[in-house]
């Protein structure tokens, strides 16, 4: 069921983006009197799952979910319909239209995706706002994971800034982004009431972007261990622990924070330990003997960070959400450009960052959360626009490149040249698709 939810989100998101992208080509083509022979969601080599002829256009759904297409008369595209190109140009064909009209038709898809991405970001802000933890509210600082510790952070640190960016909202992704994308080489922290600088080795640009660290945390909030709920029949239930009890020591060792408790428990898997448990009502501490599971667990849920620290929520009116959504989208695109720059500089390995449908689907999660779904759809829309603008023949960007050449020089590339260039571009794109999904398969085999 979890896999079906993930796949369902991915298919719905991509279907929305593909249909609207292709409509971005379809609409200006029809406005300029250009015939559109096919409008397809997914590809249909050999046969289609559904098709219906309406006027001059066949609308359908293909069986190969690798994208979609509109087949425009008189245009060399991935259909490689060379028979049509051997005939005399007709007034309704793409090749008969002025260069500026052809340019608008080719830019229509990415234009829609850019506008759609910005719009969805804005509507997510309008509908949900932004809830966050102000870093100053998290008074106990961070609880480091192994990656954060390797960088040089310590549990209890309060992060003040990363490079030139102030750390105002508590989120370890901010630190990762500044190091991996913006080349931050120092982190200012408050440690034991002393402000000091943690130097960041340049190697972390590569290490933090490796696939193996994709879902790894640098740190979390440091919180006390307060019981959120008790698993029936588990060690904690049998020992008499109740909701809102606080564990303050293990085997006589003070453990005021969750990360300290779990560290001691992991060292005593399957053994009997004595917990110091503080009851909320009386604030008295009692000793509770308890036998851990073989995994070092005691059978409780933990009170979330909201139990200890106040969040803030920024609400957006409709008119406020529009510029905020555009700003969010521009920042996202800026990060993509910077990430490409890091790849070209050799600081980030392409094979570590590249992923296919499994990688993309994994970002939606296995629980359907509409806020996350629309946020991911907005991000994918901007990525789709960005990737389609790459100057590779067979992509929109390749067609735009040749059209700009024609506009500047007044010379139109020959149909034979465009046919060969499109074939080369198609092979490149297909190779990238195979590589990306092959990497996903390789990771799954070796996981």
Tokens standing for residue 231 = 């698993």
Residue 253's closest CA among 272, 275, 236? 275
Q: How far apart are CA 394 and CA 433, in angstroms?
A: 14
- How high is the pLDDT of residue 81? 59
| 3 state SS for 370-438 | HHHHHHHHHHHHHHHHHHHCCCCCCCHHHHHHHHHHHHHHCCCCCHHHHHHHHHHHHHHHHHHHHHHHH
Q: How far apart are CA 157 and CA 343, in angstroms?
A: 31
- In what helix (H) or strand (E) does residue 121 lie, and over which residues does it extend? helix 99-128
Give residue for tokens 């409709």.
Answer: 318
Sorted by where each begins, the domain ranges of the chain are: 2-126+372-445, 135-222, 225-302
- How high is the pLDDT of residue 423? 82
Per-residue pLDDT tens for 102-140? Answer: 999 999 999 999 999 999 999 999 999 999 999 999 999
Please name every residue paired with 188 in a beta bridge, in sequence order, or none if there are none.
161, 197
Q: How far apart are CA 267 and CA 275, in angstroms?
A: 14
- How high is the pLDDT of residue 201? 93
Q: How far apart are CA 271 and CA 222, in angstroms?
A: 26
**pLDDT averaged over 10-residue windows placed end to end, the chain, 447 residues:** 84 93 95 94 89 93 88 75 68 88 93 96 94 94 94 95 94 92 93 94 88 85 93 90 93 93 91 91 89 91 93 93 94 84 75 75 85 94 90 85 86 81 82 80 76
Residue 120's closest CA among 361, 334, 381? 381
Q: By CB neighbour count within 10 A (0-12 exposed, 13-18 middle, 19+ buried), where does 360 fall? A: buried
Choosing among 3.30.420.10, 2.30.42.10, 3.60.70.12, 1.10.3720.10, the CATH entry for 225-302 is: 2.30.42.10
C-alpha triplet 340, 23, 89: angle, nearest 5°: 100
Look over the chain and give the mean of its residue pLDDT values, rounded to a whole number. Answer: 89
- How high is the pLDDT of residue 82? 61
Q: How far apart are the first and last CA of the chain?
A: 21
Q: Count CA within 13 A, CB hemisphere, residue 386.
A: 18
- How high is the pLDDT of residue 79? 58
pTM to 2 decimal places? 0.83
Q: Which fold has domain 135-222?
A: Pdz3 Domain (2.30.42)
Q: Tell me how far CA of residue 396 lies from CA of 137, 148, 389, 425, in angstroms.
A: 48, 41, 6, 11
Q: How far apart are CA 22 and CA 14, in angstroms?
A: 12
- How high is the pLDDT of residue 366? 82
- How high is the pLDDT of residue 84? 64
**Common-topology check for domains 135-222 and 225-302:** yes
Backbone angles phi, psi at 286, to 5 degrees: -120, 155
- How high is the pLDDT of residue 159? 96
Q: Tell me how far CA of residue 329 lies from CA of 22, 28, 316, 388, in angstroms.
A: 21, 25, 16, 17
């Amino acid at each position: 069921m979890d896999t079906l939810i993930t796949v369902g989100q991915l298919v719905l998101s991509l279907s929305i983006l593909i249909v609207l992208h292709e409509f971005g080509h379809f609409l200006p083509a029809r406005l300029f009197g250009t015939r559109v022979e096919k409008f397809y969601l997914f590809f249909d080599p050999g046969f289609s799952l559904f098709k219906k002829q309406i006027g001059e256009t066949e609308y359908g759904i293909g069986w190969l979910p690798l994208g979609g297409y509109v087949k425009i008369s008189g245009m060399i595209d991935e259909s490689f319909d060379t028979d049509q190109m051997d005939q005399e140009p007709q007034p309704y064909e793409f090749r008969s239209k002025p260069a500026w009209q052809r340019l608008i038709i080719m830019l229509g898809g990415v234009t829609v995706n850019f506008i759609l991405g910005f719009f969805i970001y804005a509507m997510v802000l309008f509908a949900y706002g932004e809830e966050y933890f102000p870093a100053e509210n998290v008074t106990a600082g961070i609880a480091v994971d192994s990656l954060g510790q390797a960088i040089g952070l310590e549990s209890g640190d309060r992060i003040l800034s990363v490079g030139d960016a102030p750390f105002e909202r508590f989120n370890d992704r901010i630190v990762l982004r500044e190091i991996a994308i913006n080349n931050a080489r120092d982190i200012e922290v408050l440690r034991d009431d002393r402000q000091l600088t943690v130097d960041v080795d340049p190697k972390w640009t590569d290490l933090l972007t490796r696939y193996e660290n994709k879902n790894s945390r640098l740190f979390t909030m440091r919180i006390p261990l307060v019981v959120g709920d008790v698993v029936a029949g588990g060690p904690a239930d049998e020992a008499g622990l109740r909701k809102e009890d606080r564990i303050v020591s293990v085997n006589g060792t003070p453990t005021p924070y969750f990360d300290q408790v779990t560290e001691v428990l992991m060292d005593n898997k399957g053994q009997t330990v004595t917990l110091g448990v503080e009851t909320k009502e009386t604030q008295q501490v009692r000793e509770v003997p308890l036998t851990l599971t073989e995994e070092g667990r005691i059978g409780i849920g933990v009170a979330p960070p909201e139990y200890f620290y106040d969040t803030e929520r920024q609400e957006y009116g409709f008119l406020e959400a529009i510029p905020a959504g555009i700003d969010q989208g521009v920042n996202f695109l800026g990060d993509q450009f910077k990430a490409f720059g890091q790849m070209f500089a050799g600081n980030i390995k392409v094979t570590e960052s590249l992923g296919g449908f499994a990688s993309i689907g994994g970002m939606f999660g296995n629980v359907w959360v509409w806020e996350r779904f629309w946020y991911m759809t907005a991000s994918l829309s901007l990525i789709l626009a960005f990737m389609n603008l790459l100057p590779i023949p067979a992509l929109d960007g390749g067609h735009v490149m040749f059209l700009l050449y024609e506009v500047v020089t007044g010379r139109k590339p020959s149909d034979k040249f465009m046919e060969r260039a499109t074939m080369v571009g198609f092979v490149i794109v297909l190779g990238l698709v195979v590589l990306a999904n092959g990497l996903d398969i390789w990771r799954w085999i070796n996981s």
